[in-house]
């Protein structure tokens, strides 16, 4: 049944995109300002509304996974955390108490949504918001964070390798990198083929998001001292982004 439904959806979306929706597609392609505003609204209000509860369970598991990998903290000093791609602030409910958060995103249009979530999560101490790309975090000092958090972000960066290099740079020695990412289906089947065929138009509607990437290999090649991952498949999430990888890498 999934095959019939999602194949039909893909054909319909492609057909509409090259006919009646073509002017909208062109605007998204040529205007970064409009694209950023469109995506921030869609990500928070539409995807957050439809898939929010399911994605929240994945995020919660990610932070539980991080907790399992963190050594017992003897110091009462706050946990210094950098979140790359803060989006609508959907991770804030899961941050541990006594955390200092620096939030970074390349899309300034997300700030108003992030502020809404921030007001609901006073248990986190907010240090600053940085507007920058993950591949170039020059405003962030070397060896300055205990934890870097990245959820559904590596799909959209221009260079995964450069982004991971920056993550390693800003982590303290022994620091942890929590990542939760959707990936290409590991076994090349009709679902993976559908992801590949859908990816070009998906990128347009979702601001550069790629659904055909294998982040597992890139992270393992990035030079972390240890990488622990687990796979997650939730049937209450769209098939295009259903295979998800949760992991913690140690500098």
Q: Taking residues 206-211, report their average pLDDT.
A: 97
Q: Taking residues 62-89, report their average pLDDT.
A: 88
Whether residue 238 is predicted with pLDDT greater than 80 in this model: the reply is: yes
The pLDDT value recorded for residue 216 is: 87
Strands across the sheet with 124-131, in order?
124-131, 99-105, 79-84, 145-151, 171-182, 243-250, 226-233
Query: Who wins on pLDDT, 68 or 199?
Result: 199
Q: Taking residues 226-235, report their average pLDDT.
A: 94
Distance (Å, whole) CA 8 – CA 25:
20
Query: 101 with 93: CB under 8 angstroms?
Result: no
Question: In whole numbers, what is the pLDDT of the chain averaged over residues?
Answer: 95
Whether residue 74 is predicted with pLDDT greater than 80 in this model: the reply is: no
Query: 58 with 232: CB under 8 angstroms?
Result: yes
From the candidate CATH numbers 3.40.190.10, 3.40.50.150, 3.40.630.30, 3.40.50.2300, the one assigned to the domain spanning 52-250: 3.40.50.150
Q: Taking residues 170-193, report their average pLDDT.
A: 95
The pLDDT value recorded for residue 75 is: 62
Hey, what's the torsion of the CAs at 205, 206, 212, 213, to 10 degrees? 160
Whether residue 62 is predicted with pLDDT greater than 70 in this model: the reply is: yes
The pLDDT value recorded for residue 177 is: 98
The pLDDT value recorded for residue 217 is: 87
Strands 243-250 and 171-182: antiparallel
Banded pLDDT at 94 (limits 50, 70, 90): very high
Banded pLDDT at 1 (limits 50, 70, 90): confident
Query: 181 with 210: CB under 8 angstroms?
Result: no
pLDDT tens, position by position, 121-161: 999 999 999 999 999 999 999 999 999 999 999 999 999 99
Work out the number of other CB atoms within 10 angstroms of the CB of residue 35.
20
Whether residue 70 is predicted with pLDDT greater than 90 in this model: the reply is: no
Whether residue 190 is predicted with pLDDT greater than 70 in this model: the reply is: yes
pLDDT tens, position by position, 10-24: 999 999 999 999 999
């Amino acid at each position: 049944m999934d095959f019939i439904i999602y194949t039909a959806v893909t054909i319909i979306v492609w057909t509409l995109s090259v006919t009646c929706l073509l002017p909208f597609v062109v605007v998204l392609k040529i205007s970064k300002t409009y694209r950023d505003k469109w995506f921030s609204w869609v990500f928070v209000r539409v995807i957050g509304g439809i898939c929010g509860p399911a994605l929240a369970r994945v995020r919660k598991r990610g932070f539980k996974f991080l907790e399992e990998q963190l050594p017992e903290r003897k110091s009462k000093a706050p946990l210094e955390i950098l979140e790359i791609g803060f989006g609508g602030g959907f991770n804030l409910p899961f941050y541990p108490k006594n955390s200092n958060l620096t939030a970074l995103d390349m899309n300034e249009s997300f700030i108003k949504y992030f502020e809404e979530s921030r007001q609901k999560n006073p248990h986190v101490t907010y240090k600053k918001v940085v507007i920058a790309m993950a591949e170039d975090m020059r405003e962030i000092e070397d060896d300055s964070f205990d934890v870097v958090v990245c959820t559904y972000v590596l799909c959209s960066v221009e260079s995964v390798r450069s982004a991971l290099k920056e993550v390693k740079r800003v982590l303290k020695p022994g620091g942890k990198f929590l990542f939760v990412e959707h990936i290409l289906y590991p076994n090349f089947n009709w679902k993976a083929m559908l992801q590949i065929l859908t990816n070009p138009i998906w990128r347009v509607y979702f601001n550069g998001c790629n659904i055909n990437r294998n982040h597992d290999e890139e992270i393992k090649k990035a030079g972390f001292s240890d990488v622990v991952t687990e796979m997650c498949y939730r049937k209450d999430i769209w098939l295009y982004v259903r295979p998800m990888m949760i992991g913690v890498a140690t500098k």
